[in-house]
Amino acid sequence: MRQKITPRQLTIGMYVELPLSWSQHPFVKNAFKIKNQDQIDKIRQCKLPHILVDFDRSDVKAAQLIPEDNSLIVDPKDQPVPERWNPETLAPTELLEALNDGTMASEMKAQVVYRHSRTMLERLFESPSAENILTSKKVIASITDLVLADDETSSNLLRITSHDFYTYTHSVNVGITALLLAKALFRRSDGHDLHELGAGFFLHDLGKVMVDPNVINKPGKLTDAEMAHMRIHPFQGYKILKQANALSDECRYIVMQHHEYYDGTGYPKRLKDKEIHRYARICCIADVFDALTAERSYKKAMKPFDALKLMQKQMSGHFDKKLFAEFVLLFR
């Protein structure tokens, strides 16, 4: 399927066909797949009103186009340069020390691990390089080992989750609650890679680094155009992990499908029932629960019991009922 788009809608992964002669542009071919931002910048310098994209040969689907709405397009030159983090500074020393301290009291360990896991995810979202992603996965594997081996500390982790809705806080909350559900379901089975599951749960929203922060932090209901823009983040997360050589099957299912609902009303592909992988169904429950229990500028945080009750009574079609019943047991 070929479709005309504007230069502002170009993204990495599109297969473009330039309506110019070979001598009128700086590329070897007229048709090629965009591999980096530099190529996008060069295409935009050609001042073309439209570019033809072959979506059948692209890594991006037509439905994932960024809307042609200037308020939603973020020009990198207009953004503040974030503090850069590298693999050596990504994970706070306090986090690494707590994970390796066998003498620290469980309540204290939970507080330190939770607080500094949020710091690590915040740094990762500021600097999502391939090296930082791989480093974060190693640290998340150690957090996963802690959750699996130490029932008291993992119980404390569940109890102390914060209620703000920063993306990095949400990522840690979902990572912990989804991992605890996976622990309850799979701890006696050797058929699941819990390290990769933990990575998928903690990094499920990594694609939001490609979403306009004004949309993510908007204090109110999103417009249809803003929602369409927000819905690019599963595929963007998939692409980021793939480019970092960090995309296991577990991460792929979770990142791409964590907004798919059991009744087929989710996105991006409106999958339903068993079309949605079990790992993604776990993450979906944790994701919705954390959204409900988070405080936003336009709503108060719900108490866990009230959130579970609402999910059961008003949103039951969204979830695998057996998995949801197991999730409820975490809060006994």
Highest mean pLDDT among 2-16, 65-79, 230-244: 230-244
pLDDT at residue 181, rounded to an integer: 97
pLDDT at residue 24, rounded to an integer: 74
Residue 216 has pLDDT above 90, yes or no: no
Strand partners, 3: 53
pLDDT tens digits for range 252-282 = 999 999 999 999 999 999 999 999 999 999 9
Q: How confident is the model at residue 67 (pLDDT cuts 50, 70, 90)?
A: low
* Mean pLDDT of all residues in 323-330: 96
pLDDT at residue 50, rounded to an integer: 84
pLDDT at residue 81, rounded to an integer: 42
- What are the residue boundaries of the structural domains of the chain, listed by start? 2-65, 93-329
User: Which three-class secondary structure string do you get for the chain?
Assistant: CEEEECHHHCCCCCEEECCCCHHHCCCCCCEEECCCHHHHHHHHHCCCCCEEEEHHHCCCCHHHCCCCCHHHCCCHHHCCCCCCCCCCCCCCHHHHHHHCCCCCCHHHHHHHHHHHHHHHHHHHHHCCCHHHHHHHHHHHHHHHHHHHHCHHHHHHHHHCCCCCCCHHHHHHHHHHHHHHHHHHHHCCCCCCCHHHHHHHHHCCCHHHHHCCHHHHCCCCCCCHHHHHHHCCHHHHHHHHHHHCCCCCHHHHHHHHHCCCCCCCCCCCCCCCHHHCCHHHHHHHHHHHHHHHHCCECCECCCCHHHHHHHHHHHCHHHCCHHHHHHHHHCCC
| 8 A C-beta contact, residue 85 and residue 124 | yes
- Range scoring the smallest mean pLDDT among 53-57, 71-75, 161-165, 310-314: 71-75
pLDDT at residue 44, rounded to an integer: 85
* Mean pLDDT of all residues in 121-135: 94
pLDDT at residue 63, rounded to an integer: 61
pLDDT at residue 77, rounded to an integer: 42
- Range scoring the smallest mean pLDDT among 73-87, 132-146, 267-281: 73-87
Mean pLDDT of the chain: 88
Residue 158 has pLDDT above 70, yes or no: yes
Q: How confident is the model at residue 74 (pLDDT cuts 50, 70, 90)?
A: very low
Residue 26 has pLDDT above 50, yes or no: yes
pLDDT at residue 164, rounded to an integer: 74
Residue 71 has pLDDT above 50, yes or no: no
The angle subtended at Cα 22 by Cα 18 and Cα 25, nearest 5°, is 65
More confident residue, 49 or 128: 128
pLDDT at residue 78, rounded to an integer: 42
- 93-329 domain in CATH 1.10.3210.10? yes
Residue 95 has pLDDT above 90, yes or no: yes
Report the percent of the chain where pLDDT is more than 90: 62
pLDDT at residue 232, rounded to an integer: 92
* Cα–Cα distance, 107 to 111 (Å, whole number): 6
Report the percent of the chain where pLDDT is more than 70: 92
* Mean pLDDT of all residues in 141-162: 93
